[in-house]
Structure 1
Amino acid sequence: MTTTTAMKPRRRWGRFALHYVEMIIAMFVGMFALGALFDVLGLSVSHSQYPELGYLVMAFNMSVGMAVWMRIRGHGWASTLEMCAAMFVPVVPLFPLLWLGIIDGGMLMLAAHVAMFPLMLAAMLRRLDEYAGCAH
């Protein structure tokens, strides 16, 4: 038997999960759309030749996708910038490992992309009411 009090937390976490999926989709849309545009314009960066710059451009592209979607959904700049930071923060410990030759460009990309997802989740949990509420 379900009561309205039992459904409310479920609905709240459902909204939160949906928003998380939306952020992932927006991130990939930005990455692929702007990446394709940069390719067409001849501005693409070789990830194998310039892994740092390649990653930063990709993080920028993902951030643009998420920022556009978050602003459409009515989020403020603080939460939007926190979500975008989740794209850039993973390289703080990874760039030195790359420079020391401990990891290569491929490992940089893999580790940074894996780290983004829990960082995005942490940013969302920090503002749980904003991401799980009905305001957006």
Structure 2
Amino acid sequence: MSTETLPQQHGRKHVVGHLVRHYLEMVVAMFAGMIALGPVWGLVWPGWSSTTEVMVLGMATNMAIGMSAWMAFRRHSAVAIAEMAAAMYLPFLVLLVPYWAGAVSAGVVFTGGHLLMLPAMALPMVWWRRSEYVH
């Protein structure tokens, strides 16, 4: 568990409620980034989604931009923003290795990357920076 201590006035229900709310806000911001910035890639780089690597890293970038902007608006620390941005890329980078080896399909990279980023986001929220997300 976290080595951070929380103020005594915050009960468990309050803490969980804040963590869930912040988490859901970031997921919504990720979707907003994908929806708003996805078409921009098509204008700037036609055919950008023709390779798995570029497509998933482009989507991770769109999600990281959306989420980072929201977190900056909510006045999160630069370190917390960087951790959450890394959570967008790390699952895809991990899954690209077996993809390049021919062990998994592009669909596994796409779906698995999106699913794995959810716990990759939760981990720093709960274990490393809980107090930042509770307030």
Query: Structures share a fold, TM > 0.5?
Result: yes
1:132 aligns with 134
1:91 equivalent in alignment to 2:62: no
Tell which has more relative contact order, 1 or 2 (C-alpha 8 A, sep 6+).
2
Residue of 31, 38, 43 corresponding to 2:41: 38
Cα distance in 2 for partners of 1:104, 1:119 equals 21
Aligned residues: 126
Q: Segments of 4+ in structure 1 off by > 2 A?
A: 5-9, 36-39
Match of 1:59 in 2: 60
Alpha-carbon distance between aligned partners in 2 of 1:107 and 1:9, rounded to the nearest angstrom: 37
Which one-letter code corresponds to 1:27 in the other structure? M
For 1:110 and 1:18, the matched residues in 2 are separated by 24
CA deviation after TM superposition for structure 1 residue 93, in Å: 2.5
Q: Is the 8 A contact 2:92 2:110 kept in 1?
A: no
Q: State the Cα distance separating 1:7 from its structure 2 match.
A: 7.2
Gaps of 5+ in 2: 1-7
Cα distance in 2, alignment partners of residues 93 and 38 from structure 1: 23
Greater radius of gyration (CA):
1
Gaps of at least 5 residues in structure 1 are none
Any idea what SS the aligned residue of 1:90 has? Answer: helix
Q: What's the counterpart of residue 124 of structure 2?
A: 123
Return the letter of the residue paired with 2:80.
S
What percentage of aligned pairs have identical amino acids?
A: 36
Q: Which moved more, 1:117-126 or 1:64-73?
A: 117-126
The structural deviation recorded for 1:67 is 0.3
Secondary structure of the equivalent of 1:103?
coil
2:5 match: none
Displacement of 1:88 after TM fit? Answer: 0.7
The residue number in structure 1 matching 2:17 is 14
Residue aligned with 1:89, SS: helix
Q: Which amino acid aligns with 1:110?
A: T
1:98 and 1:23 map into 2 onto residues whose CA distance is 28
* In structure 1, C-alpha distance between the alignment counterparts of 2:26 and 2:98, rounded to whole Å: 28
Length-normalised TM-score, structure 2: 0.86
Name the TM-score, length of structure 1 as normaliser: 0.85
Moved more, 54-63 or 9-18: 9-18
- 1:101 offset after TM fit, Å? 1.0
